[in-house]
Structure formats: structure tokens, C-alpha cells
A = this chain, B = another copy of it.
Amino acid sequence: MANVLILGAGMMGSAFSFPLADAGHAVRLVGTHLDREWIVAVRETGIHPKLKIKLPEGVTPFTHDELAEALTGAIDLIVLGVNSAGVDWAVEQLGPLLKTPPPILMLTKGLRAVQDRLRILPDIVREGLARHGVSTTKVGAVGGPCIAGELAARRDSSVVIASADAAFLDRVLPLLAAPYYHAHPSTDVVGVEACAAFKNLYTLAVGFPAGLLAKQGRAPNDAFMHNLAASLFAQSLREMEHFVHFMGGASANVRGLPGAGDLYVTCQGGRNTRLAYLLGSGLRYREAKARYLADQTLEGAELALAIGPTLDHLFQQGTLNPVVFPLAAAILDAICRDLPMQVPWTAFHRE
């Protein structure tokens, strides 16, 4: 039995307590300052209000101001389940409290644009902790198709645990041995993290035809627009592979769980797909966000806003060839410049 601390008690952080607890570990689930009401609810009822399910025995809830207490004693693994905007906050919270830090496993997905480079969040966390004098931390990441609600329902889920460090994988993978949680190792952290981030961006395209269909209306023979969605799906994988290569990752994960698998599952529903639908129905981003998704975190749009200016610059200076990213360019136009979403057909599927 290991002691595991999860920081972040949103959907994914809380759902991750299921395979850990079911594998026999003691889980300390620490909410952020934004998660207080969920931690209070779990304490009172055992049920997580967003997951709509009772957390396992063996999960102990803590509020964010109890983090030091939650870190008492030996901790074998820290899981970071904050959202991408909360990464710096998490580093500031953990930095002063960690002495000999355990491995850190990140559920948080996103990228940072730093001086014309796209950087993955495990590197940001490792460097942030080093500034607090915590310099030996090993930070890995989880990728692949894993809807939180399904994990919490103990549905079979396949993921990739990514770390360049074999000792990290040897130590962390055995901790995740719940019968419904199928974790596979990968040493390509950049490939896994790039796929995990960009799948949210490209979901804004793949979900677009459903809205366009609603706007245009059914065909005389009731045909849908799946051909268009499939074309966007394939173009998305093509562009993701180019982004992965640019960042130094390998191809294999693009057609694997972190790329094709996670893009597939993200397009089955959720907030990014909802935004894509609204864009397809003719709304522009700002109006769609304000009218229907005001209080929601839209990871695909957040990523576009976070890295869009840097991508624009990389396209302009030719570091990235804009010819191979027509769909990314269309998404940036829609999100960063609030233009109507256009499908740039003639630029697609080039050899």
C-alpha cells in the first residue's frame, strides 16, 4: 500500500482516486481554492457533486489550506490534477512544502509558449519546483482517452504513462494496477503531451460539422455530415504529427492512444465539442462563449489563446511551414481573431 496525494479535486483529479484506491492505496485528495465546495460535499456525503458518484473508501478529502497536513509522513506519489491555469499556483503551494519529493504525475494538460518555443507542462513544473530548491523531482504525465466520469464509473480505460526516466515508470506503473485501468509506458513525453494538448484544439474542428448541419438543415435523403467530420479528423492527425515533430516528439503516439485515441474520445462530447458545434452553427467564438459557455473552461480555446501569437510568429518567420497547418490556422482565426470558422479545403491532405 502506498500513500498518494492528488492536488486538484475537479473531475479528473477526483476520478483518478478510483484506480488508486481500488489498487489498495491510501489517497489524500486535496482541493484547490476553487474546489472547496466539492471537498466539503465529499466530506459530508462521500459523493463528488461533479462526478455524481461516491468516492471510494480510502480517499481522504482535504481543503487547499490543509495541504501541509495532507503532506505529512511518507508520500509515494503526487498527482497533479489542477487545470492548466493552476499549474503555477500548484508549484507555489508545493514548492515550500516538499523536501525529498516523490515522483509527480501530471493529469493537467496544456502547453506554454516561451520565447518562440512550445513547452510541455511537466518541464514547467520541474523548473518551477527547482526555483524553490526542490531540484530532484521527476515529473511524468498521463495521456490517452480517459473521460473522468467513465473512469469514476470504473469503465475500462487505456492510458499512457509518459516519462523519459525508466525508474519513474518502474515505480509509478505498478501503483496504477486497478483491473479496469490499463496503463502503458512511453518514454516520449513530448509526443504524449503535445497530442494531449492539441487534441483539444482540433476538437474545435471535428465537432464543427454537427453545428453546420444544424444550420444548413437536413438533406433530402437525411444525410449527415460525417464525411466532413472524418476529413477534419484525418487532417487533425496529420497536423498533430507535424506539431509533435516540431517539438521533438515521435510519430507513434499520434496514431496511438494519446493522439487518435484521445481525439476520438474528446469528439464524443464535452465542452470543446459544444463550442465546435456553436462555431459550426454560425456563431463567432466570443459570442458563443459569452452566451452559452461563459463559466466553462474550454481547453481548446485556452490553448489557442495561449500559443496563438507564438504560432502566428512561427508561421510568419517560416520556422513552421504554414502550408502544412491550414486547419490550425483556421482555428486560430476563429478563436484569436474572432473570425467565422472556415474549412480551408484546398489546403488539406497534401502529400
- A-side interface residues toward B, CB under 8 Å? 51-54, 144-147, 149-158, 160, 182, 184-186, 219-231, 233-234, 237-238, 241, 251, 254-257, 259-262, 264-265, 268-269, 343, 345, 348-351
Contacts and interface: CB of A to CB of B under 8 A. Distances in A.
A147 B223 contact: yes
Given A150-B227, A156-B345, A237-B256, 20 more contacts: A52-B221, A54-B220, A144-B234, A147-B227, A150-B223, A150-B226, A153-B220, A153-B221, A155-B224, A156-B228, A158-B345, A160-B349, A182-B231, A184-B351, A186-B351, A229-B265, A230-B261, A233-B264, A234-B259, A255-B260
Q: How many copies of the chain does the oligomer comprise?
A: 2
A230 B262 contact: yes
Contact of A230 (B220, B221, B223, B264): B264
Contacts of A260: 233-234, 237, 255, 260
User: For chain A, what secondary structure do more than half of its interface residues adopt (helix, strand, loop), or is it mixed?
Assistant: mixed
Nearest to A262: B230
Contacts of A238: 255-256
A16 to B, nearest CB: 13
A211 to B, nearest CB: 14
A229 to B, nearest CB: 7
A255 B234 CA distance: 6
Contact of A157 (B158, B219, B231, B259): B231
Kindly list the 9 A-B residue pairs having the minimum CB-CB distance in the complex, ordered from nearest. Answer: A145-B230, A153-B219, A234-B261, A158-B231, A153-B223, A230-B265, A157-B227, A52-B221, A150-B223
Contacts of A184: 348-351
Contacts of A153: 219-221, 223
A233 B265 CA distance: 10
Contact of A231 (B51, B156, B225): B156
B222 A52 contact: yes
Contacts of A233: 260-261, 264
A225 B145 CA distance: 11
Given A219-B153, A255-B237, A158 B348 contact: yes
A161 to B, nearest CB: 11
B349 A227 contact: no
Given A156-B227, A264-B229, A51 B221 contact: yes
Contact of A234 (B145, B147, B219, B230): B145
Contacts of A154: 219
A262 B222 CA distance: 20
A268 B206 CA distance: 13
Contacts of A229: 264-265, 268
B53 A220 contact: yes
Contact of A227 (B155, B226, B227, B351): B155
Contacts of A52: 220-222
